Structure 1
């Protein structure tokens, strides 16, 4: 069987709903640059396709929606590549924010780091008891510049500081209580619920839906722009120093021990 970027991000259309699946379950669906580029292309295609009424984003397997950045890629970065990496995230996050159709996240497991951020940028999130969410970048030497902003927008400054500095993963019940998960259902009901919610949202008046999402984006755009300017500078500093790569390597070595 081939092992290509297309295999790592799958797409199919079911009754007008485009189901996009991150498909590296042996790596907990952790993503690298080709996966991010593939997801960006699939979102652009879904946005333009008249037959696609909504998108559901999920992960393969039973353990993770996505573990975030593949550290085997990140440990190779220098300062220049780190800035380019942040621009890749800006393009993806910008596309999610500009996506005018319903975008529902079906969290079949943990969502860590950048995957937590992507989930929070979706319109509605559905999870189950094993759907932990958090910002553990500090544990692998990565600065949480974009994560801090997104969590602060969702939960406020106090919780953003606590989650970024501790790097802890919040259990599903806490995520549901805080509004990070909108629906908490049995594991086998996550994807069916997400498809149902996506269908319900797709039936809303389309102009009002699009203009509401446009307003959400406009109201938060200054913070988005400032965040990515800061992220470029902070990640260049961290990766030029070599600190991030060293901590990532130690983190990977502990996982192999």
Structure 2
């Protein structure tokens, strides 16, 4: 049962609480279903705020992240980045900083996080799902890293995938841009469990409720150690992403490929 709800800029991110176990579970919903929940700057900003709110709320003992409609998150809204000026290096760097802030926000939660992956999780949306502690999905899920097809180098994506997939599969995902279905995602360890499509959110909240019953101090300290293991690798990948994206956008190739993609959709 929802105990409270708050919206954000144009309600692009919704935050509500459900009773579960000894505390409550915060349910954070990406809410741009007409755009497959593709990111914008405003959306990322509100999402960081929602995580901070859930982190401060003493009632909250676990967090579930999901997407409205038929997608978890299709990644960056290309309409926002296709117009980057090739000579404006600060724009590409600011874009990476935006994602770095978001990634640190979800990783920084001392409470367990569960991604309820419904439909498409692609590009940075795919990366983001991998930052949750656990992931529930269904057979129809499509997960992967198609950024190269839009002329966008995958740099933080390599970091996000490496420990789960290993070198060979990370190379395959980044260079082919292919998406895998739910069964293959589960086999590869990208999904923790497979459930019927109409039960994904319910099962994710139930799992978060069980995690909420664990001693919070032990959970927080365990998560702190898990972060410490690869914090340096994240920071290195962010620095590398700035350098690589600055070089990529200076060529104009990502902008051309994104405009071509958007034209095809029209």
- In the alignment, which residue of structure 1 is the partner of 2:80? 73
Asked if the contact 1:6/1:38 (under 8 Å) is kept, the reply is no
Could you state the TM-score of these two structures normalised by the residue count of structure 2?
0.93
Report whether the alignment pairs 1:175 with 2:185: yes
Report whether the alignment pairs 1:21 with 2:25: no
Asked if the contact 2:8/2:46 (under 8 Å) is kept, the reply is no
Three-state SS of the structure 2 residue aligned to 1:144 is coil
- In the alignment, which residue of structure 1 is the partner of 2:59? 51
Report whether the alignment pairs 1:8 with 2:18: no
Q: In 2, Cα distance between the equivalents of 1:59 and 1:52?
A: 20
Q: CA deviation at 1:216?
A: 0.8
Asked if the contact 1:28/1:66 (under 8 Å) is kept, the reply is yes
Q: In 2, Cα distance between the equivalents of 1:80 and 1:139?
A: 23
1:157-183 CA-partner distances (Å, limit 9, x unpaired): 111011000000011100001111011
Report whether the alignment pairs 1:127 with 2:127: no
Three-state SS of the structure 2 residue aligned to 1:156 is helix
The aligned length equals 253
Asked if the contact 2:8/2:14 (under 8 Å) is kept, the reply is no
Q: In 2, Cα distance between the equivalents of 1:121 and 1:6?
A: 25
Report whether the alignment pairs 1:225 with 2:235: yes
Q: In 2, Cα distance between the equivalents of 1:253 and 1:40?
A: 31
Report whether the alignment pairs 1:165 with 2:175: yes
Q: Which runs of 4+ in 1 moved over 4 A?
A: none
Q: In 2, Cα distance between the equivalents of 1:134 and 1:21?
A: 20
Q: In 2, Cα distance between the equivalents of 1:196 and 1:58?
A: 14
Q: In 1, Cα distance between the equivalents of 2:62 and 2:244?
A: 35
Q: In 2, Cα distance between the equivalents of 1:7 and 1:208?
A: 34
Q: CA deviation at 1:222?
A: 1.4
Three-state SS of the structure 1 residue aligned to 2:60 is coil
Could you state the TM-score of these two structures normalised by the residue count of structure 1?
0.96
Report whether the alignment pairs 1:185 with 2:195: yes
Structure 2 unpaired stretches of 5+? 1-6
Q: In 2, Cα distance between the equivalents of 1:51 and 1:205?
A: 14
Three-state SS of the structure 2 residue aligned to 1:219 is helix
Q: CA deviation at 1:5?
A: 2.1
Structure 1 unpaired stretches of 5+? none
Q: In 1, Cα distance between the equivalents of 2:216 and 2:18?
A: 20
- In the alignment, which residue of structure 1 is the partner of 2:4? none
Of 96, 99, 115 in structure 1, the residue corresponding to residue 106 of structure 2 is: 96
